[in-house]
Chain A
Amino acid sequence: MFRFLLGRLAQSALVLGLAVSVVFALLRAAPGDPLSGSTLDATTAPATRELLRRQYALNRPLLEQYAHFVGSALRGELGMSLSRGRPVAQVLRDVVPNTVLLMGTGLFLGILGGIALGAWQGSRDTRSSATSARVARMSERIGLAIIATPEYIVATAMLTLFAATWRLFPIGGMVSLGVHDSLGPVARAGDVLWHLTLPALTLALIVGAGVARYQRTEMRLVLARPFIRTARAKGVPEARVLVHHALRNALGPVITLCGLLLPSLVGGAVFVEAIFAWPGMGRTMVEAVTGRDYPLAIGAVIVSSVLVALGGLLADVAAAVADPRLARGRR
């Protein structure tokens, strides 16, 4: 297991290095630099602009900039954010916990809900009641519709319905402005939770719809296997057959899927954060890329790549724990 872990860590480091280098090159290849946008309205004096260009080494050759960046990154320095006027590490320290809270909650609810729903859908067969089968089919169709709908439309629909129309949740932000700071600690946590609910549910819907689809298919495959028939023939109660025999065996591929879902979840979080005004890393990353804030964009990519790599690693470990043959096979 140790060698397996070591191998996966080395792979993750390689992926991280590649991702950061590609983003570095892509950002530089995009026309314009962090200061070229300001040339359109002359809000920054030319002398000031040139001074900043020198300060941020934007006038140096590309390879020199890259070498400087790699050297700084290896020392743990991510540089200064050009759009926010402070160290990138500080900016990320503010926003990463917010994203982890949102993504963590969304992922947890999505996976849990998706597995439960998919397992239930997969267990509906000819022995189920007509109503139950109809509800299962309807939930499958709704899930398919959610998968087929772009994330930003799902998020906008949730916001419009539950916040703007029915006023069940706040429109956006992470706290109730003007009120939050005067609340006690418990009430403050409740306030954050209230603001978290709708964006987290949106992410959970996006994640859960995909997970449920895979879980349903796996469940059906497992339920068709001989050992299930044997268990039923031995008189094992149906609930125990479904949960202990079928679901446990159907979880493996879904655990791997959850690891693979992380990159798309990061992408989904960008839209959800923008639409729900959630002050997280996704929003920060978009602003950094559109404003050509190179240090901040790359810093955000490093953090999200680490999160994705960690998620993938955890999924692999979980799958290996669930099925030790996987770890042995890698040797």
Chain B
Amino acid sequence: MLAIAACSGREGSGGGTVIVALGADTKSLFPPVAAGTVQGRAMVEPMFDPLAELGASLSTVDVASFAPRLAQSWTWSADSLTVTFTLDPRARWHDGAPVRAADVRLGYDIARDPASGSSTVADLSAAVDAVTVVDSLHVAAHFSHRSPEQFYQFVASFVPLPSHLLGAIPHDSLATSAFSRAPVGSGPFRFVSWKQGERFEMAAVDTFYRGRAKLDRVIFSVNGDPSTLAKQLFAGEADFYELLPASEVATAATKKTVQLIRTPSMNYAFLQFNLHDGASTKPHPVLGDAGVRRALAMALDRRAMLQNVFEGAGRLAMGPFSSMQWSADSTLRQPRFDRTAAASLLDSLGWKIGADGTRAKNGHPLAFSIIAASSSKPRQQYAQLIQEQLRQIGVKVEVEVMDPPAIGAKVTSHTFDSFIQNLTAGRSPVGGLHQTWYKGSTGPGGLNFGGYASAAVDLQADSAFSALTTTDARRHYRAVYQQIIDDAPAIFLFEQPTISGAHTRLVTGALRPGAWWKSIEQWAIAPGGHLPRDIPRDAPPKS
């Protein structure tokens, strides 16, 4: 892994209670619904084991590297279109019932049914034809086509659910059922209590089939104010804060009881242009011209902006991907920062500087607006920096700061010029490409709000999706990425660093980028680091 700073090197002693500070709560503890948010996943995934998990390499294409979970092994059919899982006979639901093939089938059925409120409907429907129960310990997944990531797409898109508890409940009632507030899982931690908007508690399962977690309890403390969350960490009232605000990092570094954990990001941010004039099919008077967009890209000193906003902690976004994805390519040809050349290009396109310092062509000023989210200070800073840098070549930019629902309404109705988008990329490059740049991504659920379309991109993407080897797939992805960068439907800006804060008494080991909770069963309290709250409480689960 790249710059993962682990706080390893100390052996943790057993037991203990860890308090995790979270900025928001989840709507539901029902896995298919909770999967829609990071905080939901952090709370639910330690309670539910999947069939298999990404291995240490985090590769989504190397099936041999996957770690067994509820499935202790799997075998492929000769045509690679069916994989049969053998369930671990020791696996139990937290109420003592054994995990069976019918539970896998139920989890899959629920995850691909929109009525259940599932977040992964599209991922599953695109990859898998059917799931069949072979016998109580064997279940088979049948794929519609072969692809390097078919195994990952299946095991990462759902978790088995207890059919003896949920089998009789209609799918459209599951999200509001008692189970969604007090779930019975199969993972290393079991549900203890939840006061929505305040706190959530889970406890280690003593008889867990893969071995008991090192901690006794994990309590999530929920509060929306980042400054208060940071203060809780600094005062020792919380042990872990997943995403320290940039404004608190310097203070955190001065605290003897706080360790900073830097994890590579799965996010990448970009300035997305609307290539059309509002919601019409006519080209945007300014941004519809690829030449203008290239000039804008050349006029921006992206490295200076990165340094200005993140003070060296961030990473330059190199294209429509996260650098943590296996298809990432750092050798792609980037827009060259050259303000003079950018100005010349605009001159050659007929955009001449007017008396007021703003360029215009046929009476139309070279002006547009940038929308930035009120919830993101870095994106607001970027919008202001872009405004200033483009002013220097005669481009007038207006910055609009809005809350996410307002931005959502603007971009889905295509009534915007440009906005700074920050996407969380999946491990697989397929989903992101499908949602944002590939054909059809302008439709419902797509993120291609700017209406970019390229036959060359679609062709190469089709080849990437169906490639049978990662080498071939990588080659096609590279072509896709280069084409998008050259067409400039967006200017790729930054990958925001993830800096977590942890109490020095906590031993977390390396955190997985984009999913810090994945190793939580291995977290421990350092010797001598115990506090009064670490005394185990043998209370029965309460709903």
Contacts and interface: CB of A to CB of B under 8 A. Distances in A.
Interface of A: 30-52, 80, 83-86, 91, 94-95, 156, 159-160, 163-164, 167, 170-174, 176-179, 181-182, 274-277, 279, 283-284, 286-287, 290-292
Contacts of A164: 231, 234-235
Interface in B165-184: 175-176, 180-181
B121 A45 contact: yes
A279 B198 contact: yes
A181 B193 CA distance: 11
A36 B444 contact: no
B37 interface: yes
Contacts of A284: 197
Interface string B108-134: 000000110111111000000000000
Contacts of B37: 43
12 contacts: A31-B409, A31-B410, A32-B406, A41-B423, A41-B424, A47-B121, A85-B175, A171-B235, A177-B219, A178-B19, A179-B533, A286-B224
A48 B118 contact: yes
Contacts of B412: 36, 39
Contacts of A31: 402, 405-406, 409-410
B33 interface: yes
B256 to A, nearest CB: 15
A45 B118 contact: yes
A35 B404 CA distance: 10
A38 B237 contact: no
Interface residues of B, number: 65
**Closest CB pairs A-B (n = 8):** A46-B445, A32-B405, A178-B533, A36-B408, A47-B114, A277-B223, A32-B409, A37-B404
Interface of B: 17, 19, 25, 27-28, 33, 36-37, 114-115, 117-122, 175-176, 180-181, 195-199, 217, 219, 221, 223-225, 227-229, 231-232, 234-235, 237, 402-412, 421, 423-424, 435, 443-447, 532-535, 537, 539
**What secondary structure prevails in chain B residues at the interface with A?**
mixed
A91 B402 CA distance: 27
Nearest to A82: B27
A30 B410 CA distance: 12
B228 A275 contact: yes
Contact of B235 (A86, A167, A174, A287): A167
Given A48-B117, A86-B176, A163-B235, A40 B411 contact: yes
A167 to B, nearest CB: 7
Given A37-B408, A177-B19, A178-B217, A86 B228 contact: no
A173 B19 CA distance: 13
Scoring B219, B223, B412, B533 by chain A CB atoms within 10 A of each residue's CB, the highest score goes to B223
Which of B227, B403, B408, B435: most chain A Cβ within 10 A? B408
Given A39-B411, A181-B539, A159 B228 contact: yes
Nearest to A156: B227
Given A33-B409, A178-B217, A181-B539, 11 more contacts: A31-B406, A32-B405, A32-B406, A33-B405, A45-B120, A47-B122, A94-B196, A94-B197, A182-B539, A274-B223, A277-B228
